[in-house]
Copies of this chain bind each other. A is one copy, B any other.
Amino acid sequence: MREVALIGSGVTEFGELWEKSLADLVAEAGITAIMDAGIDGTDIDALYIGGMSAGRFVGQEHLGSLAAEVAGLSDLHIPATRVEAACASGGLALHSGYLAVASGAYDVVVVGGAEKMTDVPGTEATNILASAANREWEAFFGATFPGLYALMARYHMHKHGTTSKQLAQVAVKNHHNGTLNPKAQYQRKISVEDVLNSTMVADPLHLLDCSPITDGAAAVVVASVETARQFTDQPVRIMASCHASDSISLSERSRFDALPAAVSAARCAYRQAGVEPTDIDFAEVHDCFTIAEIMAIEDLGFVDRGQGGPATEDGLTARDGDIPVNTSGGLKSKGHPVGATGIAQIHELMLQLRGQAGQRQVEKADIGLSHNVGGSGGTAVIHILEAI
């Protein structure tokens, strides 16, 4: 397997983008990434695109072919593959593109992720998102994603003493970071009181413990390290790309205060990269709900099990803390266009690693990690990147 690098990235604005279609978003993100990489359409050997449920959100499947068309690449007949793993579709698309380049099958691959979620009413969006759970054994009986994560939150509180205030601190931190991200859906600060006083969605999760419904797309350009040097003097090396699965049903898990798939993917990633959790300078993690970030920093070994809440309260994961987490604003504040999220995380890592993160630049950014989760933990994809 060859060494693989990222040589360009781009994201659209995230938000309620009523004037942009799914195809518009795919085109905009793709072209931005291609221009950032300085490559030409004819340099591209293959496309990968992650999307969760465009079939239900906008009546569109066959996203690989759609991406080839809107990118103007149809006549080249290059392979164009859509992959899907619910909210980890973007991360999985990158993992697929990584494997294809590492294997030597392709030299330059564009990997995108996109979701257009705001064309359906909110309750329908919640129902569509429940397609990431087991429809027959969870969703049919009324379980929604706030409900499933609320069960994990309640268990984490019971077992480890995590508090609602600690959960709220995740949202406060990420909204604070989001004020420094001009692409973020929400660019306003919130307080712990705002979170605790917001509508209860699924006890103990308030409205402001939940990530929003978002339109957006993101793309990156992947190349072998050798090829990368032809296009950029700032390539970012993929030190590790790991993908793990678990049961789609929460009830079938081996434990409920962690995501075993994330623990497994993290173990794989640290081994592949040859680093320890303490070597990671900063991370983008999958904070679809505030409890998810608490579990993530535990699953990734940044803190001991049960210490995610207190560590967040103590500022460990703040932008000026020991290990900044979600400097982009995270899913909570930047927005969560489900298929795009995994690639948008990579975009933030690239900005930080290349010193292009502007006002939200962290001081030490040599090695960054992304943590992307599908469903209630049925899929986890972890990447570790370094500036070279």
Interface residues of A (CB under 8 A from B): 1, 21, 23, 47, 52-53, 55-56, 58-66, 68-69, 73-75, 77-86, 92, 95-96, 99-100, 102-105, 127-128, 130-136, 139, 243-249, 252-254, 260-261, 264-265, 374-375, 378-379
Contacts and interface: CB of A to CB of B under 8 A. Distances in A.
Contacts of A131: 55, 59-62
- Copies of this protein, total: 2
Contacts of A95: 79
A348 to B, nearest CB: 24
B99 A62 contact: no
Contacts of A265: 77
Contacts of A81: 83, 85, 92, 96, 243
A245 B378 CA distance: 30
A105 B98 CA distance: 11
A60 B135 contact: yes
Q: Sort A-B residue pairs by CB-CB distance and give the 9 closest, nearest first.
A: A103-B103, A65-B378, A77-B264, A74-B247, A80-B245, A65-B248, A61-B131, A77-B244, A62-B86
A55 B58 contact: no
Contact of A65 (B52, B58, B61, B85): B85
A330 to B, nearest CB: 22
30 contacts: A1-B104, A23-B136, A47-B245, A53-B61, A55-B55, A55-B56, A55-B128, A56-B56, A59-B127, A59-B131, A61-B86, A62-B132, A62-B374, A62-B375, A64-B379, A65-B85, A65-B246, A73-B245, A74-B253, A77-B260, A79-B244, A80-B245, A81-B85, A82-B84, A84-B84, A99-B99, A99-B103, A103-B103, A103-B104, A103-B105
Contacts of A102: 103, 105
A245 B78 contact: yes
B379 A65 contact: yes
Contacts of A254: 75
Contacts of A64: 84-85, 245, 378-379
A135 B132 CA distance: 23
B63 A374 contact: no
Contacts of A86: 61-62, 65
B375 A134 contact: no
A131 B248 CA distance: 25
Given A77-B261, A246-B74, A83 B85 contact: no
Contact of A62 (B63, B79, B84, B260): B84
Nearest to A76: B245
B139 A59 contact: yes
A69 B132 contact: no
B68 A245 contact: yes
A363 to B, nearest CB: 35
Given A69-B134, A81-B243, 14 more contacts: A53-B55, A53-B61, A55-B131, A58-B135, A59-B127, A62-B248, A64-B85, A64-B378, A65-B245, A69-B248, A69-B252, A75-B260, A77-B260, A79-B95
